[in-house]
Amino acid sequence: MARPDAIDWIGGFHAVEAALRERPERVERVALSGRDDRRARRLQALAEQAGVPVESRDEAWFDTLRSDGKPLRHQGVAARVALSQAGDEHDLSALLDAADEPPLLLVLDGVTDPHNLGACLRAAEAAGVLAVVAPKDRACGLTPAARKTSAGSAERLPFIQVTNLARTLADLKARDVWIVGAAGEGPVSLYESDFACEPVALVMGAEGGGLRRLTRERCDQLIHIPMAPSVESLNVSVASAVCLFEFRRQRLAAAG
């Protein structure tokens, strides 16, 4: 599963507060500028409660911070934290072996925009997904932008990067996981599907291009989201959320 083994800076009040509330054991230290407003005092109190040291730095120091080689957006607050890293095929197998209910997976076929990835992670966690799976190549990883957009989900939800997505889908099928691809031309409506009791991997295509040929060929079924005629498609993170929460609704209804 995702391992907290990379140290990096995160910036901004929301991100640092979330880290202190949800995973204080991973926060090495917090840096604050000279501001003395209510939000800064609240953050300092959170750090003190968690036993995390707070240091005062000037704005020029904050402007030298980098994350993933880019200037850090900081608002005068930053934290040095241990960030969860992507797992691999072995981690996915271990997750499936340990699952105590039919797993629900989200598979992203070449999503390259970090904000879309972050939003997908957030929706997936909210819908009770076991893990999010994506290829290592030609796809976005856990960049600072993706982590920030996920609002903490990137640190809690396993994110798996695989070498060969088509092979991974074949391995999932061998485990009796039903592979469901979302495509505009899918013959079955999302709302006519029934995955209440099935292990399911929902496969979403990349921005613009959709599902790749090999990925599409690995799908057991293609579904579409019924939409008004004036709308051709949805953002991948929105479409993922729509499908995942329909699957969750089905499972909650079946559970009584």
**Which pLDDT score is estimated for 4?**
46
Pair (28, 113) in one structural domain: no
CB 176, CB 202: distance < 8 Å? no
List, for residues 47-101, the tens digit of each pLDDT value.
999 999 999 999 899 989 987 778 888 889 999 998 888 999 999 999 999 999 9
- CATH assignment of the domain containing 12: 3.30.1330.30
CB 151, CB 122: distance < 8 Å? yes
pTM of the model: 0.86
225 is in an annotated binding site: yes
Pair (243, 134) in one structural domain: yes
Pair (110, 43) in one structural domain: no
Pair (188, 215) in one structural domain: yes
Greatest mean pLDDT among 33-37, 104-108, 138-142: 104-108
Distance separating alpha carbons of residues 126 and 104, to the nearest angstrom = 12
Confidence of residue 5 (pLDDT cuts 50, 70, 90): low
As a whole number, mean pLDDT of residues 227-256 equals: 92
Pair (114, 159) in one structural domain: yes
CA-only gyration radius of the chain, Å: 20
Pair (223, 245) in one structural domain: yes
List, for residues 187-203, the tens digit of each pLDDT value.
999 999 998 888 999 99
Pair (213, 236) in one structural domain: yes
234 is in an annotated binding site: yes
List, for residues 164-180, the tens digit of each pLDDT value.
999 999 999 999 999 99
Distance separating alpha carbons of residues 168 and 173, to the nearest angstrom = 9
Domain extent, residue 74, equals 3-84
* CA distances from residue 39 to 1, 93, 144 in whole angstroms, order as listed: 34, 43, 23
Pair (120, 235) in one structural domain: yes
Pair (133, 101) in one structural domain: yes
Pinpoint the alpha helices (H) of the chain.
13-22, 38-50, 59-62, 89-98, 114-126, 144-150, 153-156, 165-174, 213-218, 236-255
Pair (37, 120) in one structural domain: no
- CATH assignment of the domain containing 228: 3.40.1280.10
92 is in an annotated binding site: no
